[in-house]
Structure 1
Amino acid sequence: MLRAYFQASRAPRYSLLFALPLLIFYQILAALAPAGPGGMGVRNGADVILESVFIWLAGAWGPRLFMVCLIGAGAWLVARDVRAHRDLSPAVLGGMLLETVVLSLVFGVVVGGLTAALLGTPPPPMTVGFTDQLGRWTMLMLSLGAGIYEELLFRVVLVGLLAWGANKLLGWRPLVAGIAATVLGALIFSAFHYIGPLGDRFDRFTTCSCCSAKPPFAMLGAMKSHLVKLVVLASVVAVGACSKKRTRRAEVVECSSISLDAKGTTLCLVQLYKWKLPDAQKTAEARAHELDSLKTFQEDSVWGLSAAKHKRDFQACQRGTEPLNNCLLVAGWPLHRVRHTTDSMWNAALPQHRRELQACMAKRDFNLSSCLTLYYKWDSDRALETADSVTRARLGR
């Protein structure tokens, strides 16, 4: 009976139909998901990579072409299998659901145990970047995408190509080629999770977790060839992992929101949530760095949206008679960008400024800072600082 179930559940009429609700739910959530940090749309990274091939081929129609090809290939496989086998038993679908839930629990324990055994410590809090900026539905969408598209890209396409290349091009035996492809695929799969602003924060835990997760999934697929149950299993494990991280993540987010710096966040975590001091300090520092990175990313994104206006402001201020820094400030530029721009221009014309300084120093009867300001349009702050430096240098002789 079990052999008949396993054989039937491999068939496209069951396996692909079993994964279809996940694909539909993912696409609905992706369409409804709000923008992420910096106003970016949020999608699963493997989905974006697969779509980019079709965008390269068909331009703006690439995502639609990708979805048509994906659904069309699945529908063709299901239709061909249904014509050959007319039966479609709900009991098999129910058994697949039960098997997926059981395997997800087992694999969650296995992967967590492997990671803890490799590191010798339990997983640290807060391993996903920017999760406080994403809603629960967006996190669910990304987890579903991980089960669908990451398995398709990394286990089916990548590991399959690596194993084929090792076997056909290098002449390795199928078993050796499969093991090598699985290990290399696990490393690439782990590195993939650090790409982009929504990537994981790089640490030993995330690397070992991703690497240790890949071989068990690959072994399951090799033993049973249940690709689509693997997809559902990966989705359930991903959802469970994100939910577990979310609990401690919420504590970190709450403490950082009511604290002014990393020390305040550390104190909050220790006193309010009974964290151990070393873990609290490490997490608070990482949270402070994350917030700084997010702030910089958002500011740069907003600034880039008005790049044309900023260029016009800069050109107009260069043509005007008012000092450049004052003009840019009046135009609405932030002080740090004004300083960066003026310093860059100053350094680019440094030889000319040296000649101007030497010319003013030669005029003994003229105040140095006034000369630099009146004759060469130096801004008053820089002229005063330069005059003070020259005076101190003369007195020190």
Structure 2
Amino acid sequence: MGSEAAANEQDKVPAKSDAWTDLGLTLPIFLLYHLGVVFLPVRNAADPVTAELAALAKNSLPTYAGLTVLVGIAFVVVLAATGQKKALEGKRFALIAFEATLYAILMRFAGAYAVGSLPLAVEASAQTRGVFTGVVMSMGAGFYEEIAFRVGLFGLGALLFKAVFSAGATRFVITAAWAVVAAVAFSAWHYVGALGDSFDVASFVFRAVCGLVLTAIFVFRGFAPAVWTHALYDVWAMVLHG
């Protein structure tokens, strides 16, 4: 009887998202960004897709929009063909939005705690952006920066350490240290290039802590929750506090 109750409790605990679920749950963010960014003079620096789609569309806005929608349809077809249509259930989007909102709030205060106060000026450069620009760029940052820093930088490094080191304290310590390196790289990214912010120690530490939180979400909950958390946090910072 006790074991049955425990099993029922475990069924209530949401599992870490798998690759198919991640594909479905991040589709709205992907589409919102790509359908919106074409109207802006900038795009996320980690985005390698927009320029290629625009070139393929020969800079025709209707063609670009059509290609973007086709990409979305292709995602849906793949999910349906592989029996993963449940990844597109409406309740899943509502749940991940709620979960990500909680993570975004916790991440905000974790970063604030690290620098000693709640630094609303951390995203000061976003104050010159309108609502549309802020939302679109937030979606792009959530999607592409999570691919670059959580999946690419941290994820590939963690896989390498898993292959090289046997399970144990050594691998854990090295992976944890790599998570810090990836978080620092993520923070530094925001100060690079013509559109980068002016360097500030408080905002650098704040973003590094956010990077660590996003890495923890990626490790324990999956890619889609990390994307949604990043995107919703940026909407908060760029639009609601903008």
Per the normalisation by structure 1, the TM-score is: 0.48
Question: Helix, strand or coil: the match of 1:32?
Answer: coil
- Paired amino acid for 2:191: Y
Question: Once the two structures are superposed, what CA deviation does each residue of 1:312-343 show, in whole Å capped at 9, x if it has no partner?
Answer: xxxxxxxxxxxxxxxxxxxxxxxxxxxxxxxx
Counterpart contact for 2:101–2:229, Cα < 8 Å:
yes
Distance 1:146 1:234 in 2: 7
Distance 1:87 1:245 in 2: 32
Listed as ranges, the matches of 1:139-288 within 5 Å are 139-168=134-163, 173-224=170-221, 226-243=222-239, 245-246=241-242
Contact 2:27 2:72 in 1 (8 A): no
Question: 1:167-209: CA deviations, max 9, x gaps?
Answer: 5468894312321221111111111101222211211122111
Following the alignment from structure 2 to structure 1, what is the Cα–Cα distance between the partners of residues 86 and 132? 37
Q: CA RMSD in A?
A: 3.8
Q: 3-state SS of the aligned residue for 1:46?
A: coil
Between the aligned partners of 1:244 and 1:87, the Cα distance in structure 2 is 29
| In 2: Cα distance, 1:46 partner to 1:70 partner | 19
Q: How do 1:116-135 and structure 2 match up within 5 A?
A: 116=116, 121-123=117-119, 125=121, 127-129=123-125, 131-132=127-128, 134-135=129-130
8 Å contact kept, 1:18–1:93: yes
1:249-303 CA distance string (max 9 Å, x none): xxxxxxxxxxxxxxxxxxxxxxxxxxxxxxxxxxxxxxxxxxxxxxxxxxxxxxx
Structure 1 residues 72 and 9: alpha-carbon distance in aligned structure 2, compared to 1, 3 A threshold: farther
Checking the alignment, whether the CA contact within 8 Å between 1:101 and 1:233 is kept in structure 2 is yes
Given the superposition, is the C-alpha separation of residues 2 and 60 from structure 1 closer, same or farther in structure 2, using an over 3 Å criterion?
A: farther
Distance apart, 1:46 and its partner CA: 1.2
Aligned-pair CA distance for 1:210 = 1.1
Indicate how the Cα distance of structure 1 residues 10 and 163 shifts in structure 2: closer, same or farther if over 3 A, else same: closer
Aligned ranges 1:60-75 → 2 under 5 Å: 60-61=55-56, 74-75=75-76
Give the Å deviation of 1:122.
Answer: 4.8
> RCO (CA 8 Å, sep 6+): is it higher in 1 or 2?
2
CA distance in 2, matches of 1:29, 1:157: 25
Alignment equivalent of 1:31, drawn from 18, 27, 38:
38
> What corresponds to 1:251 in structure 2?
none
Q: What TM-score results when the alignment is normalised by the length of structure 2?
A: 0.74
- Structure 1 distance, partners of 2:173, 2:96, is 31
Match status 1:20 vs 2:15:
no
Question: C-alpha separation between the residues in 1 aligned to 2:15 and 2:190?
Answer: 34
Report if aligned partners of 2:123, 2:238 keep a CA contact under 8 Å in 1. Answer: no
Q: Percent identity at matched positions?
A: 23
1:232 and 1:124, CA in 2 relative to 1: closer, same or farther beyond 3 A?
A: closer
Higher gyration radius (CA): 1
User: Which residue identity lines up with residue 227 of structure 1 in the other structure?
Assistant: F
Number of residue pairs the alignment of both structures matches: 226
Q: Which runs of 5 or more structure 1 residues have no equivalent in the other structure?
A: 34-40, 247-397
| Superposed displacement of residue 42, structure 1 | 0.3
The 1:235–1:77 alpha-carbon spacing in structure 2 relative to 1, beyond 3 Å, is same
Residue matched to 2:114:
114
- Structure 1, 139-148 or 15-24: larger mean CA deviation: 15-24
